[in-house]
């Protein structure tokens, strides 16, 4: 395995599965097929003074053991299968220092199921309006629900019970459910800017690796 000590000695906060969300003071880790895997890119996406590592996180988190203060991932975990998701959370645990924090955002499966079962027309109309789908063909609530899953290549869904179980199973403690853009992580307003869909559908938790 590569020696990641130069990166994790400099960057103590990782933005994992970054997509196009590139943040200052983080090592942003994402995977793009048209870029060279394992390569570092500066100021990607026009964001100044940033660094992105092109890396497939299914291979693990590119950091030394017990080296990170924060593992942050937003709407990334659902893109992994359930078993790959467990492996990824274990990797986050390994990379974090004792007392280090992980913040996770995923679509709230319970919220979606509740909206579907109660025929919450407002919820589905908002998703048609802001969710990046074609409202002329995504007309029924079932179509919108499946569009949310398959159009974005989601492989798994989580409610609070299942997400809490997963992080506890791996070993995290002090698990706390938060609101979007609200929590202990610094500068959350920058990490989680105003986004109607993310605000509406996100399940957010913070947890810590035990001190001992």
- For the residues of 104-168, what is the DSSP string, one character each? EEEEBHHHHHHHHHTT-HHHHHHHHHHSSS-TTT--SHHHHHHHHHHTTT----B-HHHHHHHHH
User: What pLDDT, in 10s, does the model give residues 153-169?
Assistant: 899 999 999 999 999 99
User: Which pairing describes strands 13-16 and 68-74: parallel, antiparallel, or unpaired?
Assistant: parallel
- Number of neighbouring beta carbons within 10 Å of residue 63: 25
pLDDT of residue 103: 98
pLDDT of residue 44: 84
Domains annotated on the chain, with CATH? 5-107+155-208 (3.40.50.150)
Provide the CB-side half-sphere exposure for 17 (13 A, CA): 22
**Residue for token pair 């590119």:** 62
Provide the CB-side half-sphere exposure for 66 (13 A, CA): 5
pLDDT of residue 85: 97
Q: What is the pTM of this model?
A: 0.94
**In the chain, which residues have pLDDT < 70?**
1-2
pLDDT of residue 1: 44
d(CA 110, CA 120): 13
Q: Which of 150, 142, 88 lies closest to 115, judged by CA?
A: 142
d(CA 144, CA 101): 34
Q: Which of 142, 146, 166, 162 lies closest to 154, judged by CA?
A: 146
Contact between 143 and 137 under an 8 Å Cβ cutoff? The reply is yes
């Amino acid at each position: 395995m590569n020696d990641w000590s130069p990166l994790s000695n400099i960057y103590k906060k990782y933005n994992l599965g970054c997509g196009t969300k590139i943040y200052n003071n983080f090592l942003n880790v994402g995977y793009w097929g048209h870029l060279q895997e394992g390569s570092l890119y500066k100021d990607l996406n026009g964001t100044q003074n940033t660094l992105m590592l092109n890396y497939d996180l299914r291979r693990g988190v590119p950091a030394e053991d017990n080296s990170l203060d924060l593992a942050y991932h937003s709407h990334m975990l659902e893109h992994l299968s359930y078993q790959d998701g467990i492996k990824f959370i274990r990797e986050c645990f390994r990379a974090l220092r004792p007392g280090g924090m992980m913040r996770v955002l995923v679509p709230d499966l319970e919220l979606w199921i509740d909206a579907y079962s109660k025929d919450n027309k407002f919820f589905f109309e908002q998703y048609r309006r802001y969710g990046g789908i074609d409202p002329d063909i995504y007309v029924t609530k079932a179509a919108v629900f499946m569009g949310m899953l398959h159009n974005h290549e989601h492989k798994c869904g989580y409610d609070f019970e299942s997400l809490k179980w997963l992080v506890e199973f791996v070993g995290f403690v002090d698990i706390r459910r938060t609101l979007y853009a609200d929590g202990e992580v610094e500068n959350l307003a920058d990490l989680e800017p105003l986004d109607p869909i993310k605000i509406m559908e996100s399940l957010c938790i913070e947890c810590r690796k035990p001190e001992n």
